[in-house]
Amino acid sequence: DAKTTQPPSMDCAEGRAANLPCNHSTISGNEYVYWYRQIHSQGPQYIIHGLKNNETNEMASLIITEDRKSSTLILPHATLRDTAVYYCIVTWSGNTGKLIFGQGTTLQVKP
Amino acid sequence: GAGVSQTPSNKVTEKGKYVELRCDPISGHTALYWYRQSLGQGPEFLIYFQGTGAADDSGLPNDRFFAVRPEGSVSTLKIQRTERGDSAVYLCASSLLAGGIPNEQFFGPGTRLTVL
């Protein structure tokens, strides 16, 4: 599985868009980009995934660069409840499904 | 519907003791995963079950750790001769299929294990 690099922490004002970057320069063609988040004292929660096209769901948008070496998770209108650690994970479809978590980005949404 | 449940939520034990941690996955999910999370770190993969069999146990740190899933549903993580370094939150997750797309794993709240 490709390694990912994320900033350790970020702040965002409540109501503004939160843009969380992830670098995965060694990603291979059959690997997907997944985002999970972990709110304090809870288990991780799936957010979104993508291969090469941009994706959007009710929680977030995922923008993947054309060369697929980096991506950005966008929370369009951050709320205090979005304060969490966000993990960017790269894994391939034929994998057993095990997730390799890095350190993630701690997002602090401030009022 | 019911999510993944784990019991106990907290477990305090003494060094050298044996502990069992239980995971009840979402009904119908064939894949089950155990992870361990130390303070300030991301979860670390331990073992994966597809049905009743352990398909990947490459993350188990040593032979003191063992997990079973005898009927393909509930799983138990067993730790023998616990050490202080085993203190962590043990997370269980399940998914409908292993390695499917999306690979959406549903996590339980975890069991916080403290070894004194």
Beta-carbon pairs below 8 A across chains A and B: 74
Regarding beta strands A18-23 and A70-75, do their DSSP bridges make them parallel or antiparallel, or are they unpaired? antiparallel
Per-residue pLDDT of chain A (111 residues; tens, 9 = 90+): 668 999 999 999 999 999 999 999 999 988 999 999 999 989 999 999 999 989 999 999 999 999 999 999 999 999 999 999 999 999 886 667 889 999 999 999 999
Contacts of B101 in chain A (CB under 8 A): 32, 49, 93
Residue of B49, B104, B111 to mutate, testing the A interface (most A Cβ within 10 Å of its Cβ) = B104
Per-position DSSP letters for B71-83, written without gaps between them: TSS-EEEEE-S--
CB atoms inside a 10 Å sphere around CB B77: 23
Contacts of B25 in chain A (CB under 8 A): none
Q: How much is the pLDDT for A1?
A: 65
